[in-house]
């Protein structure tokens, strides 16, 4: 059991995955800084804040609110509260996700794919394996049979 676990841990996929997680965690800081420093100000121009202020009112609800007055006594009164769906926060989260995905794609994935492509071009293609003699013989027989008139 321990031997199987050792093989699993030492597999390249596990090492690659753990490396990816570590790099991803470190890259989060860059993406967060980019989003906070560049993207959110642009979104704020459109909607007035980091997330556009887009809400859909659902209903008014009367709630009881208790506050302290100037004398420090609890005073209870009724307040109308508007219940609404906040669509802006969803738009902001989706925008942030799409920007993060775009940055990861164009900064990490595309350059890595190009490097892998260049590395594969520099390695010569191995010659195709030689066809066994019996397969060659059968191929010749097939070709002769095809060429015979019916």
The residue behind tokens 């596990």 is: 14
Residue 58 is encoded by which pair of tokens? 């659902």
User: What pLDDT score does 46 carry?
Assistant: 65
User: What pLDDT score does 51 carry?
Assistant: 56
2-124 belongs to CATH 1.25.40: no
User: What pLDDT score does 142 carry?
Assistant: 94
Residue spans per domain, the chain: 2-124
Write the CB contacts of 51 (distance below 8 Å, at least 6 apart in sequence): 43, 88, 89, 91, 92, 93
C-beta neighbour count of 103 within 10 angstroms: 16
Mean pLDDT by 10 residues, the chain (150 residues): 76 72 80 76 65 76 87 88 83 77 80 84 80 92 89
Residue 15: C-alpha distances to residues 36, 78, 99, 120 (Å): 32, 60, 28, 22
Bridge partners, residue 63, by sequence: 79
Residue 83 is encoded by which pair of tokens? 């219940």
User: What pLDDT score does 139 carry?
Assistant: 93
Which H or E run includes 74? Answer: strand 74-86
**pTM greater than 0.85:** no
């Amino acid at each position: 059991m321990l031997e199987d676990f050792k093989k699993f841990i030492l597999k390249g996929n596990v090492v690659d995955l753990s490396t990816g997680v570590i790099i991803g965690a470190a890259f989060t800081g860059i993406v967060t800084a980019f989003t906070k420093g560049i993207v959110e100000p642009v979104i704020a121009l459109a909607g007035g804040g980091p997330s556009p202020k887009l809400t859909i009112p659902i209903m008014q609800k009367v709630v009881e609110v208790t506050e302290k007055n100037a004398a420090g006594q609890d005073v209870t009164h009724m307040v109308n509260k508007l219940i609404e769906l906040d669509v802006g926060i969803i738009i902001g989260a989706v925008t942030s996700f799409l920007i993060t995905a775009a940055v990861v794609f164009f900064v990490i994935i595309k350059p890595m794919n190009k490097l892998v492509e260049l590395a594969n071009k520099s390695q010569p293609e191995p010659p195709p394996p030689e066809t066994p003699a019996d397969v060659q013989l059968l191929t010749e027989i097939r070709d002769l049979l095809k060429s015979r008139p019916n």
